[in-house]
Structures are given as structure tokens and as C-alpha cells.
Amino acid sequence: MSKLITMNVDGQELQVEEGKNLIDALSAVGIHIPHFCYHPALGFDGNCRMCLVEVEGARGPQIACNTPVKEGMKVSLSSESSMNLRRKVLEFELINHPLDCPICDQAGECKLQDYYMEAGLSKSRMEVEKVAKEKNLDFGCGVVHDQERCVLCARCVRFLRKYTKTAELGIVNRCDKAKVTTFPEKPINNRYALNVVDICPVGAMTSRDFRFKQRVWFMSSEKSVCHGCAKGCSIYVDHNQEKYKAERVYRFRPRENAQVNGHFMCDAGRLSYRKENENRLTTAKASERFEAVDIATSQAVALLSAAKGKAVFIVSPSWTTEQMAVAKSLATHYDGYLSGYADGYIVKGDGDDLLLKEDKAANRASLELLGISTDRQKLISNLKTAEVVVVLNNDLSLTASDKREFEALFAGKQVIFVGSHRIALADSAQTVIPCASYTEYAGVVVNVDSILQEVTCAIEKECFARRPEQVMAALSGNAIKAELGAVRQQLSASVPALAQVDWNAIPENGLNLKGGAQ
């Protein structure tokens, strides 16, 4: 943190960080200055004038986004004249705005709405007809644009020029004809496109996927981590239970984290929320017949007890660190071999310099921390002599050659599949036990840069799926510890890198296991 300076906002003395602009410096101490075009990741542009504030001694109102804080500075935000500035800017913004909030997805999280309720509330003085523009324009990549709602802040344009460097959008024409658009026949085409929906301060950019699905105020948000790849972007899981319907996730949104993903996330990760709702494994099987979960579990226990020393466990590289530790205890309990083999999770060439990683496993780093082997040959040689194979949500069918090879190795063995989704094994295994997926349990994951982050439980699906650690405890005949607190204690004691983790106070931005807290 750089030096603190003292300034005065609306008569109140405040300590803020030197070297920042007014918007950032004051937001750090909980004061929000209305603004549209400024975005910390895109820098200032000075085009919207929404951030005008009065600074004592200045010649006129100043734009907060480009006014650095200074020692002794006096700023007025809520005086009548400051409010008046805002009211005037808003009056301009609303001249041609269609006022279709009732059908706008942004309603409830729209800056234009918020500021109007705060400072606007003026009657329109316009007597001429509004300029009509186009709505529901398909810009590509699932981005839908509404020209009438746009406040021309150019955030979307700047994002595509500065961040993805693909520059598919521009603002063409001028005056009241100005609009955001693509060059004809050249739609938005990049893997981070849907971020423009988040950064658009109003409802001019909406997501084809989320449009009209939920009003934002009905949803609850949980802080979690994307499981789409080894980057582990910080996210919000927005979920809701509609009347007479099962609770479900409606969207993932990036959660600001300077240590991991900055302000953004990739589209694939964002849309991976769908996997939490689709193709879920809900039924248990024992002896290749559908059975109650408890019957399947006792059958699995019987199989495992009879095969002591001849069982192989293959754990998912995306399960939480705690779950991996429980898997370890389970394997030890049956004197079996535990593998975290997951070469199939690596998609060569799929990474880039922004966020996306080739490794689609969310917690491979923990396999290493816990000393769980990922070696293919070792797994294969152990499988050759095994009688029972327990696959703990690891998808071995991700690459075609793996699929063939492991199918052959599994032949003639008792296969127990514990999983959250209906992957191939859910059909072929003799014993199947469903378990919760990562929006339904809590724990930690460690990303590719050794940042440990917390996964929180957004949805409780107790009715049909237990948490992986509960399933594993049951598989041991309740002989092993699976309760989160106990597992964490054990982790701190046995894994040096985790010795210092304060499990009850993991920072929201995660913990850098290489360099301590941020």
C-alpha cells in the first residue's frame, strides 16, 4: 500500500491512498462516485461526465476519474450543486433512452437506474420524439446489443481493443445517431466476449444465455471459484429456487481478484454453470441395477472389504483439497492405491496469455501438495492386479486413447463410480453412487499459480446427492474422518505448505501458498 494522505469529502476528514484517482481512492473507503465510462481495468476515457464533482479551488467541476487525490483536497459530492451536476448529466443521458426497464435484464443492477434514483428524478423536458434505434442486435458470441439503452461510455469498445485486442466494436456516426456496432459481417469473435455484458453499466449489452431468465433481485450470490480450468477465476454463483422448481444456478459472474483473474473471466468458464444443472447423476446402481443410495453404498463397502490390498482409487483432479485428503484416507483404509491421473484434462493449445489454461483440472496443484501420484504407468500397473476400481469423479474418457485403454483395463473388475455427472462410467460401472458437484459443497482449491481459494456451497442438494466426502466416509464404513474441520486440521498437520493456513479466515482473494496472503 502506498502512502496515505488526508482529504476532506463533504466535510468529513478521510485517509486515502496517494496516487489514485478520486473514484478509486474513495471507493476503497466505501464512497461511490457515480460514473459510467471509467473502469479500473480500462483506465479513464473522460467521455461520460457522470463523475463530475466539485473540488475546492478548482476552476469548475472536475471529472473524478481523471483527478488524482491530493493532500488537503476538499471535495463535495452531496452538496446541492454537485447533485445538480449529476441531474443535468442524467437528463442528457435520458433524452433518447427508451425507459424499458421493466423488460431490461440490467434492471436492479443498472447504474443509470441507480443514479437516477439518487440524483435524477426529474421530469423530461423533451417535447420532440425520441430517436429510435435498433434493439436485439446479435453481435456474436452470445452478446446481444440494444442501441437505445446505450450511454456510449465506450467501455465495451475499449475492452475489446485493450484486453482481448480483437477490436470488433466501434462507435460510429455522431450526435444522436451515434451507436456501438460491429463492422458489417464481422461479429464479435473471441473467448472473453461476454465480459462486455458485465462491464456495460446499463442494459445495452445483455447475454443471449441469461436474457429473460431471472430478475437479478430474486437471485442470491455466493463467492466461489470457477472449475473450468486451472486458473480458478474467482466468481459469483448466482442461484435461485423458483416456486415449485428445483434450485439451480443461473449464471456465473467474475468476482474481482487482482491475484487471479482481475475483473474478468472467459466465456467457457462463465457458461460452465450450465453443467451444474445439466446431465447430473441422480440415481445409484448396485449390481448393475438401480438401487437406493444406501444399498449401493453397502454393496460397495462389501466389495471393498473383500478386496483389501487389491483396490485402486482414482480421484478427480478438480475435487477440493479436503476431498482429496479424504480420498487418501479412504485408500489407506483399504490398503489400496490412490491415483490422481488426469492427463485427459489437459487440452493442448487451449491456453492463452489472458486467463485460460490448457489444464482443465481445477485443483491439480493439490494432488502434488498431498503427494498423490498422477503417473500413468503406475496407475496402469496397479490396475493390472486390482480387483476393485473406485473412480472418484475422475473422467477417464476425456481422451479417446485413454478411454479405450482404461475400458480394457477395467474389464472383468468390479468398478465403483462415485460421481456428480452422467459421464460414460455412470453407465458402464456395476456400482454407481451420485455425489454433489462444486456449487453444492465447500472446501478449497489451489490454482496453477499456487493460490488457494475457497469454494462455497451455493446450493444444497441433500435430497439425492451427498457431498463427496460424505460418500467416501460411508464407503469406509464410517471409519475415516470426513468432517471439514477435522480434515483441515489433519491437512495443516501433514502438509507443510498448508501449515499456516487459517481455515476460518481465508482471504476473499485467496492465499498465495508461495508468498503468503496478498
Partner 1 sequence: MSAEVKPTRANKPFVFNAENEAKFQKLLTRYPDTAALNLPGLWLIQQQDGWISYEAMEYLAERINIPVTQVYEVATFYTMYNLQPVGKYHFQVCRTLSCELRGGEEILAHLTKKLGIKPGETSKDGRYTLTKVECLGSCGSGPMFQLNDDYHEWLTVEKVDEILAKLP
Q: Report the interface residues with partner 1, using CB under 8 A.
A: 157, 161, 167-175, 177, 181-184, 186
Query: Which partner in partner 1, ligand FES, ligand SF4, none is near 50 (CB below 5 to 8 A by kind)?
Result: ligand FES
Q: Please count the CA atoms within 13 angstroms of the CA of 339 that sit on its side-chain side.
A: 25
The answer to whether 83 and 119 have CB atoms below 8 angstroms apart is yes
Among the listed ranges 182-190, 259-267, 395-403, 455-463, the one in contact with ligand SF4 (CB under 6 A) is 259-267
Give how far the C-alpha of residue 452 lies from the chain's centroid of Cα atoms, to the nearest Å. 15
Cell 465480459 sits on residue: 195
Residue 89, binding choice from ligand FES, ligand SF4, partner 1, none, Cβ under 5 to 8 Å by partner class: none
Cell of 484: 471439514
3-class secondary structure, 493? helix
CB under 6 A: which stretch of 13-21, 148-156, 384-392, 453-461 binds ligand SF4? 148-156
Stretch of 121-129, 182-190, 266-274, 301-309 lying at the interface with ligand SF4 (CB under 6 A): 266-274
Picked from ligand SF4, ligand FES, partner 1, none, the partner binding residue 182 (CB below 5 to 8 A depending on kind) is partner 1
Considering only 120, 228, 317, 434, the residue that binds ligand SF4 (CB under 6 A) is 228
Q: What is the binding site for ligand FES (CB under 6 A)?
A: 35-38, 46-51, 63, 65
Q: Tell me how far apart the alpha carbons of residues 198 and 191 are, in angstroms, rounded to a whole number.
A: 15
Whole-number Å distance between alpha carbons of 175 and 414: 72
Stretch that binds ligand SF4, among 116-124, 198-206, 240-248, 313-321 (CB under 6 A): 198-206
Pick from 359, 321, 314: which is nearest to 337 by CA? 314
Residue 471, CA distances (Å) to 459, 465, 468, 474 in order: 18, 9, 5, 5
Burial of 384 (0-12, 13-18, 19+ CB in 10 A): exposed
Taking the C-alpha atoms of residue 300 and residue 50, their distance in angstroms, rounded to an integer, is 64
Choices 91-99, 226-234, 323-331, 465-473 (CB under 6 A): range interacting with ligand SF4: 226-234
Using the rule CB under 6 A, which residue among 160, 193, 200, 315 binds ligand SF4? 200
CB closer to ligand SF4, 269 vs 317: 269
Of 336 and 443, the one with the shorter C-beta distance to ligand SF4 is 443
Q: Does 461 bind ligand SF4 (CB under 6 A)?
A: no
Q: Does 249 bind ligand SF4 (CB under 6 A)?
A: no
Q: Which is nearer to ligand SF4, 356 or 370 (CB)?
A: 356
In the block, which residue shows the cell 472467459? Answer: 266
Helix (H) or strand (E) holding 80, with range, is: helix 80-93
Q: If binding is defined by CB under 6 A, does position 89 make contact with ligand SF4?
A: no
The answer to the question of residue 33 lying near ligand SF4 (CB under 6 A) is no
Would you state the cell numbers that stand for residue 15, as one nine-digit string? 485517509
Instruction: Report the phi/psi class of residue 52: left, alpha or beta, with left for phi > 0 and alpha for psi in -120 to 50.
Output: beta
Q: How far is the CB of 263 from partner 1 (least distance, A)?
A: 22
Least Å distance, CB 195 to ligand SF4, is 10
Q: CA angle, 179 as apex, 177 and 181 as ends, to 5°?
A: 140
Query: What are the cell numbers at 251?
Result: 449464471
| Residue 510 contacts which entry, ligand SF4, partner 1, ligand FES, none (Cβ below 5-8 A, type-dependent) | none
- Binding site partner of 429, from partner 1, ligand SF4, ligand FES, none, Cβ cut-off 5-8 A by kind: none
* Binding partner of 65, given partner 1, ligand FES, ligand SF4, none, CB within 5-8 angstroms per partner class: ligand FES
Residue type for position 127: E
Q: What are phi and psi of 491, to 5 degrees?
A: -65, -45
Cα gap 210→207, rounded to integer Å: 5
Instruction: Show Cβ contacts of residue 6 under 8 Å, excluding neighbours closer than 6 positions.
Output: 13, 14, 15, 71, 72
Which residues, in sequence order, are CB contacts of 114 under 8 Å at separation 6+?
34
324 binds, among ligand SF4, partner 1, ligand FES, none (CB under 5 to 8 A by kind): none
State the nearest-atom distance from the C-beta of 90 to ligand FES, in Å: 13
Q: Is 356 in the site for ligand SF4 (CB under 6 A)?
A: yes
**Residues forming the site for ligand SF4 (CB under 6 A):** 150-156, 180, 200-202, 204-205, 226, 228-229, 231-233, 261, 265-266, 268-269, 355-356
